Amino acid sequence: STDGGRNLSLESIPMGLPMSDPSAWATAMNNLGMAPMGMTGQPLLPDFDPALGMMTGIPPINPMMPGLGIVPPPIPPDMPAVKEIIHCKSCTLFPPNPHLPPPATRERPPGCKTVFVGGLPENGTEQIIMEVFEQCGEVIAIRKSKKNFCHIRFAEEFMVDKALYLSGYRIRLGSSTDKKDTGRLHVDFAQARDDLYEWECKQRMLAREERHRRRLAEERFRPPSPPPVVHYSDHECSVVAEKLKDDTKFSEAIQTLLTWIERGEVNRRTANNFYSMIQSANSHIRRLVNEKAAHEKEMEEAKEKFKLALSGILVQFEQIVAVYHSASKQKAWDHFTKAQRKNISVWCKQAEEIRNIHNDELMGIRREEEMEMSDEEIEDPSEMKETEESALVSQVEALKEENDSLRWQLDAYRNEVELLKQEQGKASRDEDTTKEQQMKLLQQALQGMQKHLLKVQEEYKKREAELEKVKEDKLKVETLLENLKEQESSTSRVCACSQEKECPVEKSLSNSPVKSEREVLLVGIISTFLHVHPFGASIEYICSYLQRLDSKICTAEVEVLMTRLQNTFRQELSGVGASLEKRWKFCGFDGLKMT
């Protein structure tokens, strides 16, 4: 028959699936975007196209990804999925009406592998249920009830999504139309303790792995523990004393010395050793101060370089802005298109904003430098010399005190060496070794002290030479000051004589402010010139205008004439500091009222 030709037996299917019509099942899985897979993981259709699942609005799902539990989104109502008839060996599944809404499902429990199947035929058996649902994946257990429902547990979570696709299908056993042989399937998620337990175990395993990875990361970034400090002994003391003299090993040795002192290793026997080590540590202070000064100098040089670079950048910005402004003039502006003009104007605004920002930054740096300058830095050279001389005197006194203390320490060490020599014959052989070590340490300390004394004496001689130079400089400055005072007194006498000579001239000028017709003409020309310039003009600007008319006119003559006529011309000061400027204005209208 035709049905016999279409149906496939169990032996003819390579995956061992009880399917009578694999094309119908493949079409149903294709509507979900899933490749229909057999029990062995091989595809039922070798030419399956997962992109066909996008026709139903459902993204394609890979069923071979266990544990993801991806639930396909609901099918939009305007694009219903086309479900077809599925023929099995013992039954037939008819699709629901596509215009009806999709069947409702409960919230998916975590790690769900079990489904509830309701609406089974009364005559349905576990074999028929297995025949229908084992096409979705490996079935672990079926628990059937007498009231036409059952629970099916699958091996993986993604198989549950395949089983939910059959919800709403009508099932018919064979070709019978009896009510007991028909039913409407309702497939929904089921909550099972085994699924929840397996999911919790999996979550705990993932948490353990995450904790292990976090612990490894923390151990990787944890800093190593510091090395342990050795216990005090005479040998270790000599090693640390040598390290303290070396600049490269100073930090390690000073930490060891600090630990020993905090442990309480200092006693009457070891006090001298510890004092010598502390003295060696103190000798590094000058080195550290010099290093700090060198770093500060480098920082100042870097600041200067930054300021020079910033000023160079500002110059280039000014040039670019000047290019934009020259391009914006009508001579060149008319030749550009509208788009080009727009771009040029936008670029000009951006360049001006950036230039203003950099200019404010440079001005801020200069303001900070001006604020840092104090009154102490702007003192007279004589006061600076006095401060330097006092500083040198204090340093010389400190060096003298240090020299005296070193001499006293040398005497103390010599006395201790003599006492040790006297006690050496009385002590036993066991004590001889310790005394010899102490002798060596004392001899080393003596040699260090002698070297230090020589250095101090050399520094003392240098400071004395510097003091003599400072005194000579002070005498020179005093002589210079006396010469300056004599020059000031002579200049004041000359000024007094000149003022006495000018007094009768001014009196005569006050009687007749304008002497000749030439001066009258000059007054008229200057008045008309300043009338055109209501904000005033400098004397150089006025003289440059007059010299075009007469090259013999000089600045002093014009200035004397204008100062004579106080009711006609008025001098005003404008600007601040270096930009201070003297301007002359015409005030004849106001002077007319006053006279």
Please give the mean pLDDT across all residues of the chain.
Answer: 79
Host domain of residue 567 = 517-592
Q: Please indicate, yes or no, whether residues 277 and 314 belong to a single structural domain of this protein.
A: no
Stretch among 74-88, 95-109, 167-181, 256-270 having the lowest mean pLDDT: 74-88
In a domain, 247, yes or no: yes
How high is the pLDDT of residue 498?
A: 59
Residue 310: pLDDT above 60? yes
Q: By percentage, how much of the chain surpasses pLDDT 70? A: 78
Contact between 138 and 123 under an 8 Å Cβ cutoff? The reply is no
Higher pLDDT, 226 or 96: 96
Q: How many domains does the chain have?
A: 4
Last residue of a domain, one of 341, 368, 395: 368
Q: Please indicate, yes or no, whether residues 190 and 152 belong to a single structural domain of this protein.
A: yes
Q: Please indicate, yes or no, whether residues 190 and 167 belong to a single structural domain of this protein.
A: yes
Q: How confident is the model at residue 298 (pLDDT cuts 50, 70, 90)?
A: very high
Q: Please indicate, yes or no, whether residues 194 and 97 belong to a single structural domain of this protein.
A: yes
In a domain, 446, yes or no: no
* Mean pLDDT of the 243-266 span: 89
SS3 of 565-588: the string is: CCCCEEEEEECCHHHCEEEEEECH
Stretch among 54-68, 107-121, 140-154, 160-174 having the lowest mean pLDDT: 54-68
d(CA 570, CA 563): 8
Query: Mind listing the pLDDT tens digit for each residue in 388-400?
Result: 667 777 788 788 8
Q: How confident is the model at residue 155 (pLDDT cuts 50, 70, 90)?
A: very high
Residue 331: pLDDT above 90? no
Q: Please indicate, yes or no, whether residues 107 and 192 belong to a single structural domain of this protein.
A: yes
* Mean pLDDT of the 344-361 span: 88
The residue among 544, 509, 547, 545 whose CA lies nearest residue 528 is: 545
Question: Strands 581-586, 139-144: parallel, antiparallel or unpaired by DSSP?
Answer: unpaired
Distance between alpha carbon 35 and the CA centroid of its chain, in Å?
A: 51
Q: Where does residue 424 fall: left (phi above 0), alpha (psi -120 to 50 degrees), or beta otherwise? A: alpha
Q: How confident is the model at residue 110 (pLDDT cuts 50, 70, 90)?
A: very high
Q: Please indicate, yes or no, whether residues 91 and 117 belong to a single structural domain of this protein.
A: yes
Supply the DSSP symbol for 19: B
Query: Mind listing the pLDDT tens digit for each residue in 46-70?
Result: 444 444 333 334 344 444 444 444 4
Stretch among 12-26, 194-208, 329-343, 515-529 having the lowest mean pLDDT: 12-26
Q: Please indicate, yes or no, whether residues 141 and 100 belong to a single structural domain of this protein.
A: yes
Query: Mind listing the pLDDT tens digit for each residue in 547-593?
Result: 888 888 888 888 888 888 888 888 888 777 667 788 888 888 877 77
Q: Please indicate, yes or no, whether residues 272 and 319 belong to a single structural domain of this protein.
A: no
Q: Please indicate, yes or no, whether residues 540 and 555 belong to a single structural domain of this protein.
A: yes
* Mean pLDDT of the 464-493 span: 85
Query: Mind listing the pLDDT tens digit for each residue in 433-463?
Result: 787 888 888 989 898 898 899 989 898 998 8
Last residue of a domain, one of 342, 368, 394: 368
SS3 of 186-240: the string is: EEEECCCHHHHHHHHHHHHHHHHHHHHHHHHHHHHHCCCCCCCCCCCCHHHHHHH
Tokens 């005003």 -> residue: 572
The residue among 281, 275, 285 whose CA lies nearest residue 255 is: 281
Last residue of a domain, one of 146, 181, 201: 201
Query: Mind listing the pLDDT tens digit for each residue in 505-560?
Result: 444 445 566 778 888 888 888 888 888 888 888 888 889 888 888 888 888 888 88
d(CA 595, CA 587): 12
Q: Please indicate, yes or no, whether residues 264 and 157 belong to a single structural domain of this protein.
A: no
Q: Please indicate, yes or no, whether residues 338 and 297 belong to a single structural domain of this protein.
A: no
Q: Please indicate, yes or no, whether residues 185 and 285 belong to a single structural domain of this protein.
A: no
Supply the DSSP symbol for 103: P
